[in-house]
């Protein structure tokens, strides 16, 4: 995987973590799914937290991306940041 992609992904993740922009739940789930696929691949784990319904939605968002490689998921995560966060500031 290219160093450029990894660097862009880390920058996008940092940007997303430090934004005050409120996003719709479906967009937040997309961020979660792409991040998990980018960093864990298909090595699924139970989401943290004790709200079962929310955890089910999060895990489902990740499962839906199992066809993507980690590199593809990183690029899609970057695209989400650019579309929903960077263009809003």
| Domain definitions of the chain by residue range | 3-86
CA distances to 43, 59, 77 from 64, rounded to whole Å, are 13, 9, 14
CB count within 10 Å of CB 65 equals 19
Rounded CA-CA distance 53/16 in Å is: 24
pLDDT in tens, the chain (89 residues): 689 999 999 999 999 999 999 999 999 999 999 999 999 998 877 777 777 888 889 999 999 999 999 999 999 999 999 999 987 65
CATH code of 3-86, in short, is: 1.20.80.10
């Amino acid at each position: 995987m290219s160093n450029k992609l990894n660097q862009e992904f880390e920058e996008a993740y940092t940007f997303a973590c430090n934004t005050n922009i409120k996003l719709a739940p479906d967009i937040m789930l997309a961020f979660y799914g792409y991040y998990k696929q980018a960093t864990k691949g298909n090595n699924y784990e139970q989401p943290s937290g004790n709200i079962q319904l929310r955890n089910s939605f999060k895990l489902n968002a990740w499962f839906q991306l199992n066809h993507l490689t980690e590199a593809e998921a990183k690029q899609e995560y970057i695209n989400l940041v650019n579309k929903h966060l960077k263009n809003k500031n």
